[in-house]
Amino acid sequence: MTARQLVRTTLVTLAWTVAGYLAFLNLQAYVPHGLGYDTHAYWLAGRSAHPYAHAVPGDRDAFLYSPAFALAMRPLAVVPFGVFYGAWLALEAAALCWLTWPLPVRWRVPVLLMCVPELIFGNVYGFLGVAAALGVRRAGFWAFPALTKVSSGAAGFVWFLVRRDRAALLWASAWTAGLAVLSAVLAPGLWHSYVDFLLHGQDDEPWWLRLLRFALGLAVAVWGARTRRAWTVPVAMLLLAPHLGLKLKDVAMLAAIPRVVRNAPTLDP
C-alpha cells in the first residue's frame, strides 16, 4: 500500500467512524422524543389560519417561512401528520441521495450519515440543496430558498449579481416576486404577520455573532462568484442561514456541493 492509499484509507475510515457515531448519537437523543420536529411546524402551518402566532426561532412548532410556503402546505396538510412526515422523509431522503450521487460510495455513505439529524427533524435543507443544484442553471429555482430561509436564498442572488448574469438575476427575482405577489393576493393578512415577524422576531443568537456569520457568508458568496467556484454556494447558504442550531441538521446543506459542482461544470477551474 502506497502512502497516498494509506492516507485515503485512513481518512475514509475516520469519516465512516465519526459520521456513524454522530448518527447513532442523534438517533439515540432525538428519536425517543418523536420524529419530524420541524416538519410538524409545517404541517400545523398548513392547517392554521394564524401560522405566525408563535413564531419564535427554536421553539417547538414555530413557523418561520413565508406565506407562500404556508399556502403550499395547505393542500398537503389535510392528511394525518404521520403520513405527512413519512412522505416528507421519503422525498428529502431521495433529494439527499440525488445530491450526493456524484460522490464515490466510500464518501457518499458518511456524507449521508451526517444528514441523519436533518431527516430526524425534517427541515428543508435537502430541498434547499436541490434548489441550489438546479438553480445554478435555472435561476427560477432560487425562489424556494428566498421564500423559506430568506437570508440563505441571498447566496444565489449574490452569485448572479457578482457574475453580472443579469438574465439569471432577473429570472430569480421575477419568480420570487411572482410567487410572493400571488400568495399576498390569496392571503394578505399572512404577509402582514410575516413582515412583522421578520422585523421584530426574537432569537437567542447574539446580534454580533449573526452579523459576523452573515458577513462571512456574503464574503464566501462573493469570493466564490469572482473565482468561479460553484461549491461555495451551499457553504454561503449555510453561513447565511437565519437560525443555526447545535443539532447538526444544518450541515445537510453541504450535501448539495457534489451536485452543484456537477451541474455547473464550466464554472469551476
**Model pTM score:** 0.94
Instruction: State yes or no: pLDDT of 56 exceeds 70.
Output: yes
**How far apart, in whole angstroms, are the C-alpha atoms of residue 245 and residue 238?**
11
Cα torsion 7, 8, 10, 14 to 10°: value is 130
Grid cell locating 81? 401528520
Q: H helices then E strands: how many in the chain?
A: 14, 0
Model confidence pLDDT, tens digit, residues 139-151: 999 999 999 999 9
pLDDT confidence of residue 241 = 94
Confidence of residue 265 (pLDDT cuts 50, 70, 90): low
Yes or no: say if 148 and 124 are a contact pair by the CB < 8 Å rule.
yes
Model confidence pLDDT, tens digit, residues 195-232: 999 888 777 788 899 999 999 999 999 999 999 999 99
Model confidence pLDDT, tens digit, residues 92-101: 999 999 999 9
pLDDT confidence of residue 267 = 45
